[in-house]
Amino acid sequence: FLGLGPGSRDPATVRRRSRGPRNRKKGWKRWAGPEARLGREIGDFLEDVVLQQRATGGLIAEQPDEGLFFVDTGNAEKDRQLNKGKEKPLHVDLVLQPDSKVPAPKNILAHQIPNGRKEKRRRQFWEKQAEKGVLPRAERRLRARLRRGGAPPDKAPEKGRSDPERGFYDIWAADNPLDRALAGQDGWFLQQTKKQRVKRPARLQTKPSQVPAVEVIAAGGSYNPTFEDHQALLLQAHEVEVRKKRAEDKVEKQLRIPAGTELPTAETVFQEQCEGLLEESGDEEEGGPPAPPAEPEDSPKTAPRPEKKTEQQRRREKEARALAARQRREKAARCRRQELFRLRSLRRQVKRWEGELLRRRQARLAKRRAKDALPRRLGRLKYEDPSLEVQLSDELAESLRTLKPEGSVLRDRFKSLQKRSLIEPRERAK
């Protein structure tokens, strides 16, 4: 049964707060153990039973409906007449009423009128002018309209947005009535006067990356994966760890001292530090005769001038040059005549060249698409894929009740923004 008190709850679901220190000897048997917990539950039950008997004369579960509920058959108007029109305010309203005997200060600004003195002088001025027969312009226009025969005929009310018979138009269409007033005007003038929006560049319409906003994980990372999918995910995680281990081994190998290298000792270090000092002191002590000056070398001999050619030699060289030029021209003409018989081979060569150009173009396009799928370099740091969330075969949950949450939604969204080249990769400040 439910408790009668406003804060009573089911004893089975209430978790009692530990009372008293447990590091003392007197608290060992008082608040610990199933017997003490059962005693506390029985005590709470008996207290609740006593409270129900005191308030309702018995247990609430055993009371009939007539003892718990009643039908209100009173008359509110009759009660108001008996109370002489006075209704008792609620307690919450009485609490909020001020109980101070000192009245609140008046807000003078709430009773002031803006430009009150100026309006008062203006009203007094027009009262004096009205005694002389002079009226303000608005008053004169109103009286003239009344003399003409009353107010002008009212215009037909405009159709509002809620009128079903009003006309409809597409605001995105080329001939919508909102743009008719701007038709025929200069586009530059409309852009500068803020009457026409600046055309959005086409480069802003394209996404920086074709990667979807929400990527689906591998089949092996699902709740109940198949054996093949789970093994494929484990293999992928293993390859990632192998690459990390190879990178660490490479760095360690580069920093490792080669085998067979003699390590420096204190004696060799001291000898290396004193190497230059000992040589300088030995050179200063040793003194010898100066070396004899070197004899100057002989001046280089000039090359002999060639002998002057005779007229016959010049004529023979000229004839040889003319003969070589004529032979080159004849060979070129003979090659051009031979090209006519190579049309089929030339056609096949052109086709092969065009096929090679098409293959290169497709390769460049595929390379560009593959590059667009990768995250761009927006800062000094490169994008790094997050670690795979993988469970071993003995860690797989048998049911959804025992499934443990993995990963972080905030970190996943942050990495997705970096992968789609929307923000630059960052590292946590140290």
The confidence score (pLDDT) of residue 415 equals 93
How many C-alpha atoms does 162 have within 13 Å on its Cβ side?
Answer: 0
> What DSSP string describes 159-217?
P-TT-TTS----TTSTT-GGGSTTTTS-HHHHHHTTSSPPPPPGGGTS-S--S-SSPPP
CA distances from 420 to 209, 215, 367 (A): 5, 11, 18
Cβ(210)–Cβ(372) below 8 Å? yes
3-class DSSP state for residue 354? Answer: helix
- State how far the Cα of 394 lies from the Cα of 212, in Å rounded to an integer: 33
pLDDT > 70? residue 376: yes
The confidence score (pLDDT) of residue 318 equals 94
Q: What percent of the chain has pLDDT over 70?
A: 83
The stretches of 182-310 forming alpha helices (DSSP H) are 187-192, 227-255, 266-273, 275-285
Element (H, E) at 368: helix 343-373
Average pLDDT of span 144-149? 84
- State how far the Cα of 266 lies from the Cα of 226, in Å rounded to an integer: 64
Contacts of 240 (CB under 8 A, 6+ apart): 387, 388
161/106: higher pLDDT: 106
Average pLDDT of span 104-120? 82
- State how far the Cα of 226 lies from the Cα of 203, in Å rounded to an integer: 44
pLDDT > 70? residue 297: no
Dihedral (C-alpha) 80, 81, 84, 86: value to the nearest 10 degrees?
Answer: 10
Residue type, 81: Q
Q: For residue 329, with 0-12 CB atoms within 10 Å meaning exposed, 13-18 middle and 19 or more buried, which class applies?
A: exposed
pLDDT > 60? residue 367: yes
Measured in degrees and rounded to the nearest 5, phi and psi for residue 361 equal -65, -45
Average pLDDT of span 105-130? 86
Model pLDDT for residues 36-82, shown as the tens digit of each residue? 778 888 989 999 999 988 887 788 888 888 878 878 887 878 877 77
Q: What pTM does this model have? A: 0.41
b/e code 111-146 from CB counts within 10 Å (16+ = b): eeeeeeeeeeeeeeeeeeeeeeeeeeeeeeeeeeee
Locate tokens 């789609």: which residue? 420
- State how far the Cα of 83 lies from the Cα of 120, in Å rounded to an integer: 50
Question: In this structure, is the dihedral angle defined by the CA atoms of residues 160, 166, 170 and 176, taken in order, positive or negative?
Answer: negative
Model pLDDT for residues 171-214, shown as the tens digit of each residue? 777 777 777 777 778 878 887 887 777 778 888 888 888 889 99
56/24: higher pLDDT: 56
Enter the tokens of residue 350. Answer: 């052109």
pLDDT > 60? residue 277: yes
Enter the tokens of residue 253. Answer: 């190998």
Average pLDDT of span 332-355? 89
Enter the tokens of residue 3. Answer: 């408790």
- State how far the Cα of 398 lies from the Cα of 372, in Å rounded to an integer: 41
| Packing angle of the helix pair 275-285, 266-273 (nearest 10 deg) | 50
Element (H, E) at 322: helix 311-339
Average pLDDT of span 313-320? 93
Average pLDDT of span 413-420? 93
The confidence score (pLDDT) of residue 357 equals 96
The confidence score (pLDDT) of residue 330 equals 95
- State how far the Cα of 165 lies from the Cα of 232, in Å rounded to an integer: 65
> What DSSP string describes 44-86?
HHHHHHHHHHHHHSS-GGGS-HHHH-------HHHHHHHTTT-
The single-letter DSSP state of residue 383 is P
9/230: higher pLDDT: 230
The confidence score (pLDDT) of residue 1 equals 47
Of 65-74, 88-97, 175-184, 284-293, the poorest mean pLDDT is in 284-293
Question: In this structure, is the dihedral angle defined by the CA atoms of residues 331, 332, 337 and 338, taken in order, positive or negative?
Answer: positive
Average pLDDT of span 354-371? 94
Contacts of 403 (CB under 8 A, 6+ apart): 223, 397
Q: Rounded to a whole number, what is the largest CA-CA distance in the chain?
A: 157
> Per this entry, what is the length of the chain?
430
- State how far the Cα of 376 lies from the Cα of 419, in Å rounded to an integer: 8
- State how far the Cα of 251 lies from the Cα of 259, in Å rounded to an integer: 16
